[in-house]
């Protein structure tokens, strides 16, 4: 099963077309990064996947069912979307209430709610903050409250919209652990990010967007060593790739070990 975008275009109510003729197929358990310059249409595109945006033209299918036939709440049981800005998502007055909200809304049994909340809290490392008002929690950690709230819904497809923005090294390590653990359970993860080192380390498949379109859909090595794509999507090469490029080393180098080997 999969998320499929078939020739999808999307225009906002004011008439602005933000996505044009997108075609994309995301399989179960896949790790996919979406990259591209500000305003390229990344957030608009991923919101099409959970029904927050409904296509103006074309079709979005989640496990074979068109998102036009379902409400966003229904689709969210399968496709979880963590907002780019946590303040657009969080509305409860404690972090704990925020994480419990959707499992309670689904009317799950008490023990199941507790199991899911405990797991989400453990994975995101936010135990010390549970009784706090999210507004009083530092921004980087507030983002993990938003992530925990969606993890607790146990989606089959998890969309993270700029999870690395505002995170330090420790935040990135927590994110990497979340991705690794959930992928082991068969969850597909779709992440938008501007951190290309994070992309190179964690995502085998990359979709590059520019000016409303998908301009490339390929492996990290293919994307980062394609100068046209790098320039058009206005992304940076990851540090190791850039170093290899500056040293005129071929071989589509992306990782430290590959660089060491090539220099030798
Ligand atoms: N509600 C809206 N109404 C009209 N235009 C919008 C709306 N939301 C976004 N846009 C426009 O659609 C385009 C794509 O926006 P989108 O948020 O999808 O880009 P993005 O790739 O996620 O950018 P960023 O990296 O800055 O998050 C932008 O030009 C933006 O101004
Ligand atoms: Mg965005």
pLDDT value for 264: 83
Instruction: Give, for ligand 1, the residue of 9, 16, 194 to mutate: max count of ligand atoms closer than 8 Å to Cβ.
Output: 16
41 within ligand 1 shell (Cβ under 6 A): yes
More confident site: 263 or 210: 210
Question: Does the pLDDT of residue 48 top 80, yes or no?
Answer: yes
Instruction: Count Cα neighbours of 186 within 13 Å in the Cβ-side half-sphere.
Output: 6
> pLDDT-derived band of residue 1, with 50, 70 and 90 as boundaries?
confident
Residue 263: the pLDDT is: 86
Among the bound ligands, the one closest to the CA of 41: 1
Dist. CA 230–CA 253, nearest whole Å: 15
- 121: CA distance to ligand 2 center in Å? 25
Looking at the predicted structure, is the pLDDT value of residue 65 above 80?
A: yes
**pLDDT above 90 for 250:** no
Query: Is there an atom of ligand 1 within 6 Å of 99 CB?
Result: no
Decide: 44 in ligand 1 pocket, CB within 6 A: yes
pLDDT-derived band at 47 (thresholds 50, 70, 90) equals very high
- Cα→Cα distances 145→67, 79, 94, 121, 226, Å: 27, 18, 10, 8, 37
169 has pLDDT over 90: yes
Task: Please give the pLDDT value at position 54.
Answer: 97
Task: Please give the pLDDT value at position 26.
Answer: 97
Q: What atom of ligand 1 comes closest to residue 45's alpha carbon? A: 18
Tens-place pLDDT, residues 11-35: 999 999 999 999 999 999 999 999 9
- Give me the pLDDT at residue 147, please: 98
Instruction: Name the closest-CA residue to atom 7, ligand 1.
Output: 12
Mean pLDDT of 133-155: 97
CB-count exposure of residue 131 (10 Å: 0-12, 13-18, 19+): exposed
- Ligand 1 within 6 A of CB of 42: yes
Q: What's the mean pLDDT when you consider all of the chain?
A: 96
Q: What is the CA radius of gyration of the chain?
A: 19
Verify whether ligand 1 is closer than 6 Å to residue 128 (CB atom).
no
Atom of ligand 1 nearest to the CA of 40: 21
Using the mean position of ligand 1's atoms as its centre, give its distance from the Cα of residue 18 in Å.
Answer: 7
How does pLDDT run across 118-130, given as a tens digit for each residue?
Answer: 999 999 999 999 9
- Quick check: CB of 43 below 6 Å from ligand 1? yes
**How large a percentage of the chain has pLDDT more than 90?**
95
Of the chain, the percentage scoring pLDDT greater than 70 comes to 100
């Amino acid at each position: 099963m999969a998320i499929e975008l078939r020739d999808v275009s999307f225009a906002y109510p004011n008439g602005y077309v933000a996505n044009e003729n997108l075609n994309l197929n995301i399989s179960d358990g896949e790790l996919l990064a979406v990259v591209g310059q500000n305003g390229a249409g990344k957030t608009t595109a991923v919101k099409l996947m959970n029904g927050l945006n409904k296509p103006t033209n074309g079709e979005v299918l989640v496990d074979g069912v068109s998102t036009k036939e379902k409400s966003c709440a229904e689709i969210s049981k399968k496709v979880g979307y963590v907002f780019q800005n946590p303040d657009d998502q969080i509305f409860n007055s404690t972090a704990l209430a925020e994480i419990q909200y959707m499992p309670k809304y689904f009317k799950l049994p008490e023990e199941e709610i507790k199991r899911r909340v405990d797991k989400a809290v453990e994975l995101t490392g936010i135990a010390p903050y549970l009784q706090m008002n999210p507004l009083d929690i530092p921004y980087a950690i507030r983002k993990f409250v938003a992530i925990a709230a969606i993890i607790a819904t146990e989606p089959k497809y998890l969309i993270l919209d700029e999870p690395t923005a505002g995170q330090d090294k420790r935040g990135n390590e927590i994110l990497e652990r979340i991705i690794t653990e959930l992928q082991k359970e068969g969850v597909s993860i779709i992440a938008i990010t501007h951190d290309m080192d994070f992309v190179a380390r964690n995502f085998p498949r990359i979709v590059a967007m520019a000016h409303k379109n998908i301009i490339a859909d390929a492996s990290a090595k293919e994307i980062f060593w394609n100068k046209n794509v790098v320039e058009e999507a206005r992304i940076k090469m990851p540090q190791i790739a850039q170093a290899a490029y500056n040293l005129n080393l071929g071989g589509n180098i992306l990782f430290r070990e590959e660089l060491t080997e090539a220099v030798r």
